[in-house]
Amino acid sequence: MSLSFHVVRHERGFSPTPLPIWTDNGDVSDLFEADATPEVVRQEVEGVPGAFQLLNVLTHAEADNFVAALEEMGFEEDAPVSLPRSVRHNHNVNWVVSEAVDQVIWQRSAPLVTEQIQGEGAKGINARFRVYRYEAGDFFKPHTDGAWPGSRVINGEIVQDAYPGLMSQYTFLIFLSDGYTGGRTEFLVSRRDPGKPAQSQDDIQKVSVSTPKGGVLCFPHGSHPQHCVHASEPIRDGAKYIIRSDILY
How much is the mean pLDDT over the chain?
95
Whole-model pTM: value is 0.95
Per-residue pLDDT averaged across 223-239, rounded? 96
CA proximity to 225, closest of 144, 148, 166: 144
Give the pLDDT band (50/70/90) at residue 194. confident
Per-residue pLDDT averaged across 8-24, rounded? 89
Q: pLDDT tens for residues 65-88?
A: 999 999 999 999 866 665 677 788
Q: What pLDDT score does 80 carry?
A: 61
Which of helix, strand or coil describes residue 164? coil
Inform me whether the pLDDT recorded for 160 exceeds 90.
yes
Q: What pLDDT score does 64 carry?
A: 98
Q: What pLDDT score does 86 carry?
A: 75
Inform me whether the pLDDT recorded for 172 exceeds 90.
yes
* CB within 8 Å of 173: residues ≥ 6 apart: 185, 211, 216, 217, 218, 242, 243, 244, 245
Give the pLDDT band (50/70/90) at residue 16. confident
Residue 167 identity: M
Measure CA 65 to chain center: 17
Q: What pLDDT score does 79 carry?
A: 63
Per-residue pLDDT averaged across 147-157, rounded? 97
Domains and CATH numbers, the chain: 19-27+38-182+213-227+234-248 (2.60.120)
Please give the helix or strand (H or E) that residue 107 lies within, else none. helix 99-109
